[in-house]
């Protein structure tokens, strides 16, 4: 298993950072051995995560020593951090040393380990890790992942991405986010070196770090690729870059085509992926040689998994181009959710089968396409409207601005990062053309920036407060 530090990669570098600090697999094992004398297995920890050596070691050592960690964003407001502590009562807290005045029990590079609670806890023997869902903002609802889940997904990713010990990934996503964490897991599984940085992709320092360290792969969500386009990424000289991966939401067809063409011309691989925290990250992938011929597709199931569709009656859909809910089956389907400390004793609630909540169809080659979320639909004047579909359409038509769609059964709300009256008028007209509604049911709202989550996804929850104003319409 990738978290078994007694691996053949002991003398290889496990991770390094932008300050030229590094840690070998053997170093990590040494820390783990010492910590066995301090922290008992099957206890609960919270790790406040950053893309640093101390944070990464805290995670991998917890897994190795059978300590169950909850991964939380270190930048989460204190009141939300305290909410997790109150509900789950962790025995240990791993966090940046400079943020605590007291002395730590043990030091892992920039992280200290602090005792919090002596209260014993009953945890299921298979429970390995607890993650917040990608869309949560301090919600105590966690996804329970097993050791089998983690290993199965890491091995599957290694297979279809063809990762090796020589792969050199850079952290462009937070490690508490399931996509970012899966990059770490899969590369550790093959004994590769993780290049850690907290630098922003908009900075010159980030790209100097990429070039200096001969980075071979870059991963991102749709917002990442929107930023890369603005940075004129396709004009950069990156001779060592071999692999570009994208997940965390649907990329527009135009951007997918642009990066797929760039990859083809420059002999690189561009791979679209789809996943959920509830599936330990990855569910499907689009092989790079289909990137242009299957625009908009999430591809096929990852090795070891299976995809099906069901209709509103729960019956399997057999014919292409018929929409239904996407169902995934595989060893990486997690155990279920936790909302209290007592839930940590639960076993497998889902029996390796996940109702994704996404509406999809497959084509004649059984390549799958997501059309929206079950909950991202509104019904206005008896007309069922797919908010994701409308948003994607408008983004294609108005690529120079950012757009987000929300709404109720009374009104469709379109948020745009433009104050030009002409643009607003064009947005309204294009929306009318797409949904065939009376203009009274459409409202365009100009805002400075579309709010994003830490993982770069549109933060629809932050926009929901505007829905309160729609009741009077």
Residue among 195, 199, 173 nearest 16 (CA): 195
For the chain, the maximum distance between any two Cα atoms, rounded to a whole number of angstroms, is 69
Of the chain, the percentage scoring pLDDT greater than 70 comes to 96
Q: Say if residue 441's pLDDT is above 80.
A: yes
Average pLDDT, the chain: 92
Q: What is the pLDDT of residue 134?
A: 55
Q: Say if residue 469's pLDDT is above 60.
A: no
Cα Rg of the chain (Å, integer): 23
Cα separation, 11 vs 17, whole angstroms = 18
Cα separation, 404 vs 137, whole angstroms = 19
Checking DSSP bridges between strand 13-17 and strand 300-301, what pairing results, if any? unpaired
- Edge-to-edge strands, sheet with 336-338: 106-108, 111-115, 92-96, 44-49, 68-73, 127-132, 142-146, 336-338
Give the global pTM.
0.85
User: Could you report the per-residue pLDDT of 256-314, keeping only the tens digit for each?
Assistant: 999 999 999 999 999 999 999 999 999 999 999 999 999 999 999 999 999 999 998 99
CA atoms within 13 A on the CB side of 133: 16
Strands (DSSP E) found in 85-216: 92-96, 106-108, 111-115, 127-132, 142-146, 194-196
- Ordered domains of the chain (ranges, CATH): 13-368 (3.40.50.12780), 376-472 (3.30.300.30)
Q: For residue 87, what are the contacts with CB-CB under 8 A and spacing of at least 6?
A: 140, 339, 340, 341
H or E stretch at 401? none
């Amino acid at each position: 298993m990738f978290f078994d530090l007694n691996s053949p990669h002991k003398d290889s570098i496990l991770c390094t950072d932008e300050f030229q600090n590094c840690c070998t697999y053997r170093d990590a094992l040494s820390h783990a051995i010492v910590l066995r004398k301090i922290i008992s297995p099957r206890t609960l920890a919270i790790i406040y995560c950053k893309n640093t050596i101390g944070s990464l070691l805290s995670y991998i050592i917890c897994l190795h020593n059978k300590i169950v960690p909850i991964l939380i964003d270190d930048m989460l407001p204190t009141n939300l951090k305290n909410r997790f502590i109150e509900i789950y009562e962790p025995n240990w807290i791993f966090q940046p040393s400079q943020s605590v005045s007291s002395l730590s029990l043990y030091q892992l590079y920039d992280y200290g380990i602090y005792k919090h609670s002596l209260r014993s806890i009953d945890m299921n023997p298979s429970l390995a890790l607890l993650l917040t869902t990608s869309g949560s903002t301090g919600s105590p609802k966690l996804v329970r992942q097993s050791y089998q889940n983690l290993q199965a997904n890491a091995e599957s990713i290694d297979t279809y991405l063809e990762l090796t010990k020589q792969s050199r990934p850079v952290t462009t996503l937070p490690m508490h986010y399931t996509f970012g964490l899966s990059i770490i897991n899969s590369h550790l599984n093959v004994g590769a070196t993780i290049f850690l940085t907290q630098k922003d992709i908009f900075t010159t320092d980030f790209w100097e770090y990429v070039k200096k360290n001969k980075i071979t792969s870059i991963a991102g969500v749709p917002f990442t690729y929107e930023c890369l386009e603005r940075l004129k990424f396709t004009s950069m000289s990156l001779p060592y870059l071999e692999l570009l991966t994208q997940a965390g939401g649907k990329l527009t067809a135009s951007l997918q085509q642009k990066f797929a063409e760039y990859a083809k011309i420059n002999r690189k691989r561009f791979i679209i992926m789809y996943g959920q925290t509830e599936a330990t990250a990855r569910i499907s992938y689009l092989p790079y040689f289909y990137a242009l011929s299957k625009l908009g597709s999430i591809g096929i199931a990852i090795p070891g998994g299976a995809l099906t569709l069901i209709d509103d009656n729960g019956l399997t859909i057999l014919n292409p181009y018929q929409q239904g809910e996407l169902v995934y089956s595989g060893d990486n389907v997690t155990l279920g959710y936790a909302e209290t400390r007592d839930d940590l004793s639960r076993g497998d609630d889902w029996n390796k089968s996940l109702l994704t909540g996404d509406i999809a169809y497959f084509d004649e080659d059984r390549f799958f396409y997501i059309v929206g979320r079950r909950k991202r639909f509104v019904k206005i004047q008896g007309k069922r409207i797919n908010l994701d579909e409308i948003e994607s359409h408008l983004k294609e038509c108005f690529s120079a601005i950012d757009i987000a769609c929300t709404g109720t059964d009374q009104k469709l709300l379109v948020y745009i990062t433009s104050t030009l009256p002409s643009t607003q008028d064009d947005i309204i007209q294009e929306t009318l053309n797409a949904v065939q509604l009376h203009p009274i049911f459409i409202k365009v709202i100009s805002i400075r920036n579309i709010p994003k989550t830490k993982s770069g996804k549109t933060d629809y929850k932050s926009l929901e407060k505007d829905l309160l104003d729609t009741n009077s319409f």
